[in-house]
Amino acid sequence: VGTKAGDVYDLYARLLAQHMPKYIPGNPNIIVQNMPGAAALIAANHVYNVAKADGLTVGAIYPALYFDQLIGRKEVKFDWAKFGWIGSPVTSNHLLYMRADTPYKTMADIHKASEPPKCGATGTTSTAYWVPKLLEEVIGTKFNIVMGYQAGQDIDLAVERGEVACRAFTITAFFAREPFTTWRKKGFVRVLMQTGRKRDQRLPDVPTIHELMDQYKTQDADRRLATLVLAAGTFGRPYVLPPGTPGDTVKIIRQAFSKTINDPEVKADAEKKKLEIDPTSGEELETLAKEVTTQTPEIIERMRKMLGK
């Protein structure tokens, strides 16, 4: 798991580790090992290059790591399309929250601000980085992104301390755990935008990025960039196997994942933990992985610009 223990990625992994063994021949134990760092790039590189392709190691990695591959970052030691894709338990739409005591009450306030708000991020493929950078590209808002936090929880602590004022991350996490439940009750933060095609029912008054692009008359080229970047939401919280894992093994683990995630007992357990279930199959992710890594030079150049490469 490419995050710290207690992160929502970790909570999903532990849910699967608890329930999935009964659907795997031999009923094996599943051990969760956390390998945080570099926005899950360390974990992805480990699964791709170090783990044996025998089906005994599964990676829970960030959905936007293909960004780094597209722009040619030297730290990337994998080919996104060659992972063995198992599936994702949930599609992840994202939001941007802002401390309520700042002058930024709406996206329009950020757009016209003389001083951009400070947002925290772990790395360039973390939601906390690419959501504000995409907003800069497609509607012209400016953000001061403070990098170097090891995990999302560290950014939230920085927000409480006043080091930074904002963070982008998944809507699922915002409604699943602390400190956000308490923050919402106290009105400590407000949500300024969301990335879904339509407004989440829990955020009925918050505009989507698509509404904002219409409002600011975003050009077609910028919208194509947005489509590529927002595909990360479809990857959700993906699980992968090392490249070269035998097809029969991939099939067994895909089937076990599918049976687990659709098990009524698992769905009930997820609901208790406030974890949404909206799965995407490994076959669908495999197709999407090939699509997102096949891009024109023009789009790749836009990605480089967006990610500061």
Alpha carbon separation from 52 to 67, 76, 246, 255 (Å, rounded): 25, 19, 11, 20
Angle between helical axes of 220-235 and 297-306 (0-180°, round to 10): 80
Residue with tokens 């360390």: 42
Mean pLDDT value of segment 95-100: 98
pLDDT, position 4: 85
Mean pLDDT value of segment 127-144: 94
Confidence of residue 148 (pLDDT cuts 50, 70, 90): confident
pLDDT, position 212: 97
Cβ contact 309:68 at 8 Å: no
Q: Which domains does the chain have, with CATH numbers?
A: 8-91+236-306 (3.40.190.150), 94-230 (3.40.190.10)
Q: What value does the mean pLDDT of the chain take?
A: 94
pLDDT, position 309: 61
- Can you tell me the distance from the alpha carbon of 189 to that of 16, in angstroms, rounded to the nearest whole number? 31
pLDDT, position 53: 96
Please tell me whether the overall predicted TM-score, pTM, comes out greater than 0.85 for this model. no
Mean pLDDT value of segment 53-68: 94
241 sits in which H/E element: strand 239-241
pLDDT, position 2: 87
Residue 126 has pLDDT above 90, yes or no: no
Q: Give residues with Cβ within 8 angstroms of 99, minimum separation 6.
A: 159, 162, 165, 166, 188, 189
- Can you tell me the distance from the alpha carbon of 77 to that of 92, in angstroms, rounded to the nearest whole number? 25
For 235-289, the pLDDT digits (tens) are 999 999 999 999 999 999 999 999 999 999 999 999 999 899 999 999 999 999 9
Residue 225 has pLDDT above 90, yes or no: yes
Residue 305 has pLDDT above 90, yes or no: no
pLDDT, position 11: 93
- Can you tell me the distance from the alpha carbon of 252 to that of 25, in angstroms, rounded to the nearest whole number? 8
Hey, which residues does 191 pair with through a beta bridge?
A: 97
For 170-212, the pLDDT digits (tens) are 998 899 889 999 999 999 999 999 998 899 999 999 999 999 9
pLDDT, position 6: 86
Q: How do 239-241 and 84-88 pair as beta strands? A: antiparallel
Cβ contact 87:238 at 8 Å: yes
Does residue 171 come out as left (phi exceeding 0), alpha (psi in the -120 to 50 range) or beta?
alpha
